[in-house]
Amino acid sequence: MGVKEFRHRYIVFEIEAPRVIERWELIKEFQRIASRMGLDQTDEIRPWLTAFQNNRGILRCSHNDRDKAIELLKAINEVGEDRVKVTIDTITTSGTIKKAKESL
């Protein structure tokens, strides 16, 4: 049996904001910040917004790039067309989606 080379990590996070943030607003901001950080769709980090509701979410990434994914989350300080100020706090990181969902 071969070694599993690609494992996911699930980062549970919460957004502090004066209003509820929409999923599309956050995704758009991920793309903007990733581009500014020099990351693109082909990078191993592969961030994916697995779940998001009521300003809490789970970001999936590769196990090797957990720190880059957290850096991406922390770099977001405004979202939406109205550029509302936000703060993103990471709650926990898990190796399974089941455990991550328990932390939501």
Residue at 16 is within a domain: yes
Q: Quick one: pLDDT at residue 44? A: 59
Residue at 76 is within a domain: yes
Residue at 85 is within a domain: yes
Structure token pair of residue 60: 């999936």
**What total number of domains does the chain contain?**
1
What's the domain range around 63?
A: 8-103
> CATH number of the domain that 20 lies in?
3.30.70.3250
Is the CA virtual torsion 68, 38, 49, 85 positive or negative?
positive
Could you tell me which residue, 41 or 20, shows the higher pLDDT? 20
Residue at 2 is within a domain: no
Q: How confident is the model at residue 4 (pLDDT cuts 50, 70, 90)?
A: low
